[in-house]
Amino acid sequence: MSDIYHAYRSVRSELARRFYTKFVKIQVRSYGSSLRVNGPTNLNRSTTLGDDVHFNGLEINGEGEVEIGDHFHSGRDCIIHTQRHNYHGEELPYDDEMIHEPVVVGDNVWLGHRVIVLPGVTIEEGAIVQAGSVVVEDVPKCAIVGGHPATQFASRDEDHYDRLRSEQLDRKR
């Protein structure tokens, strides 16, 4: 019975992954090779995806531009916001105008489970965002950030990262 159960779960997981991946492909402006979507993911038509992008569940709120680079990985229940209310308008607490701000995520970025990224943020290449963090400002190359708001508490060894990145680019050619 155990073997049948494991086979069933494996087939169910593969069918779900194929469904989620096809759904994402019709949602976005463009996508690269090796897109893999393992969980419920909702993006917008202003999203551009690089190669080897892996989602385990991500939602983009708003119609602003989102650019996600190559070799991106997200944990479950991540959210990227691309718009905010206009609180500088003539009504309180805010008016009806929505302000769209792009979000850029560089190559080789990893978002842990339940990360929230606010409008206008750039997460540079090689960065890691700790699970449960709220990213309110730009994240530098190779930074490891976490918290509410996310702050840098460590970083990758940039020389090691650059060597691996160079090898990665050589394999791609």
* 71 φψ region: left (φ > 0), alpha (ψ -120 to 50), beta (else): left
Phi, psi dihedral angles at 7 (to 5 degrees): -65, -40
Tokens of 132: 């449960």
The catalytic position among 71, 73, 81, 85 is 85
Dist CA 98 CA 132 (whole Å): 26
pLDDT, mean of residues 98-112: 97
Is 40 strand, coil or helix?
Answer: coil
Catalytic site includes residue 85: yes
Compute the residue count for the chain.
Answer: 173
Q: What pLDDT score does 1 carry? A: 60
pTM over 0.85: yes
Domains and CATH numbers, the chain: 1-172 (2.160.10.10)
State the average pLDDT for the chain: 94
Is the pLDDT at 28 greater than 90? The verdict is yes
